Structure 1
C-alpha cells in the first residue's frame, strides 16, 4: 500500500526530515495553509510528507516559471525596435510563449511528480480512516484524470500572466516618446519579469499556482478515498476562513451534496474545492476544503 511505502521512506531518511521541518513549516505558514492541512486527518509522518510534496511542487513550478521568463526575454531580444512598440506583436510573443506544448508538458510532469502523490496520500488517508481493511491503489484512474485536468487549467493560469504583462507593455509604449524609448521600456519590463522579482514569473505566482494544484490534489484525493470506502454518502463544502475568501466560496460554505454530485459555486459546478474542470476564477488560489457526510 501507499502508506507502507511512506513509512519506509521516512525511516530511511529521518535526519533529512528533521532538517527540513523548520523550512517546511515556514513555507506552510507563509502560504496560510494550516487550516487546510488540519482538515486532512493525517498522521505526523503523512503530514510531513505532504509538506515535502508541496515544497517539491512549488520548487518545480519556480523552475518552470524561470524557464518561461528566460524564453520571454530571448523572444523580446529578437524583436525589432518597431515590433517592440507594437502591442499586437508583443501579444503574439506572449501567446506563443504561453501556449507552447513544452511548458504544458513541464507543468504536467510537475503535477505527476509532486501533486499526484499528494492526491494519493490524501485519498488513502481518508479511505483507511473509514475502513482500515480497504486497500488503496496508486494506479487508480482518478489520479491520472486529475493530472490531465490540471494540465487543462494551465492555459487559464497563463492567460492571467499574459494579460498582466501586456498591460505593462502597453503602459511602457504609451510612456515612450520615441521608438527607441518605447523599445527600452519594454525590454526593461521583460528583464524585470524574467528575474522573478515581480510579475508572472515571480515566487508569488509560483505559490499561487502551487496552492491551486495542492488544493485540487488534496480535495480530489479525499473525494476518491470516500468513494472507495463505499460508505460515504455525501460531502459538505467548507470555506476557508479570512477576508480573502471570495464571496462565491463563502456563499458555498455549508452546502451539502451527494458524493457523485457537484457543488454549485458561483456559475461553476465543482466536484470538490479546486476542481480543475471548473472556471479558473473559482479555482485559482482556492484554500477551501470539504467534510464527509455519512448519512
Structure 2
C-alpha cells in the first residue's frame, strides 16, 4: 500500500522538526558550558559524533538480548517461577518470596545479558581527538610553551578511557535490565512465566525505541567529561595553583551543584559536591547522578586562593 503524498510530506516535515529540535538541544547544552567559542564547536561536533556511534551500538545490544529472551521460554526456569507464585496461596513468607524473586531475577538477567564490546572503542575514537584539541587549547590559554607532550598524554588517556567507559556503560545497562526484570517479576507473581517474559520483552522494545535519547545523554556526558579532564591536566602542567567551581546559573542546575558554585580549592584538591569529592565537573570518580550531563565549569588560576 502506497503512502499518500500529502501524508508522506507531513511525515517528512515531522521528522525534520524532530531533528532540528534535537540539534537545538545539543547546541543549547554546549552553549551553557564555560568553554571558549572554538572549543564549543569541537564539543558540539564530538557530541553529535558520539551520539551517532552509540545509538546503533546500544540498539544492537538490546536486540541481541531480545533474541536470547525468546530462547529463555524453553529454559527450565518455569517450574521455579511457579514456586514463587505460591505466595498467592500464602505458602511463602515475605522473606522467602523476596529471596526467590531476587534469585529468579539474577537467573533471567544472566541468561539474556549481552555485553557491548564495541561501544568503548567507538566513543574513545571520538573522545581522543577532542581531548587532544582541548588539551592544546588549554595549554595555549595557560602557557603557550606547554604543548610538547599533548599527543602522548591524549593517547594514554584514550586507552584508559576506552577500558573504563565500556565497563561503566555495561554496568549501568545491566543494572537497568536487572531493575526492569525485578519490577516485572515482583508485580506479576500470579502470571505464568511465558507472560512475564512477554512483559520483559515489551520493556526492552521500549528501550530500543528510546535508544537515541540514551545515546544523546551518553554523548553529552562523555564529551564534557573528556574536555574537562583535558583542561584539568593542562592546568596542572601549566602551573595553575587553584580552581573555582562555577555553574551555568539556569534552572536546570542541580541544587547541590548550585551549592558548590564559587567553591575554590587548591589545584590538586577536590570539591565537595553532594558529599562526594570531585576534582572537576564530570569527574569519572563521581556517582552517575553527580556527573551525568553536567555543564558546570572550572576557572583555573595561578596565585593566591580566591576569596
TM-score (norm 1): 0.74
Superposition deviation, residue 189 in structure 1: 2.5
Residue 152 of structure 2, aligned match among 140, 165, 182: 140
Matches of 2:200 and 2:279, distance apart in 1: 42
Matches of 1:147 and 1:264, distance apart in 2: 28
Matches of 1:293 and 1:140, distance apart in 2: 25
- Residue aligning to 1:169: 181
- Residue aligning to 2:123: 111
Matches of 2:123 and 2:55, distance apart in 1: 13
Residue 40 of structure 1, aligned match among 22, 35, 38: 35
- Residue aligning to 1:224: 233
Residue 50 of structure 2, aligned match among 44, 57, 67: 57
Secondary structure of 1:277 counterpart = coil
The 5-angstrom pairing of residues 104-253 of structure 1 reads 105-141=117-153, 144-145=156-157, 147-149=159-161, 151-152=163-164, 154-173=166-185, 174-175=187-188, 177-193=191-207, 196-198=208-210, 202-230=211-239, 232-253=240-261
Instruction: Decide whether aligned partners of structure 1 residues 29 and 80 sit closer, same or farther in structure 2, where only a CA change above 3 A counts.
Output: same
Superposition deviation, residue 187 in structure 1: 2.6
- Residue aligning to 1:3: none
Matches of 2:137 and 2:37, distance apart in 1: 7
Matches of 1:135 and 1:292, distance apart in 2: 18
Matches of 1:252 and 1:210, distance apart in 2: 24
- Residue aligning to 2:6: none
Residue 76 of structure 1, aligned match among 69, 73, 78: 69
Q: Give aligned pairs, total.
A: 257
Instruction: Decide whether aligned partners of structure 1 residues 276 and 137 sit closer, same or farther in structure 2, where only a CA change above 3 A counts.
Output: same
Taking only aligned residues, the RMSD between alpha carbons, in angstroms, comes to 2.9
Which sections of structure 1, spanning at least 5 residues, go unmatched? 1-21
Larger Rg: 2
TM-score (norm 2): 0.72
Secondary structure of 1:216 counterpart = helix
Matches of 2:166 and 2:220, distance apart in 1: 13
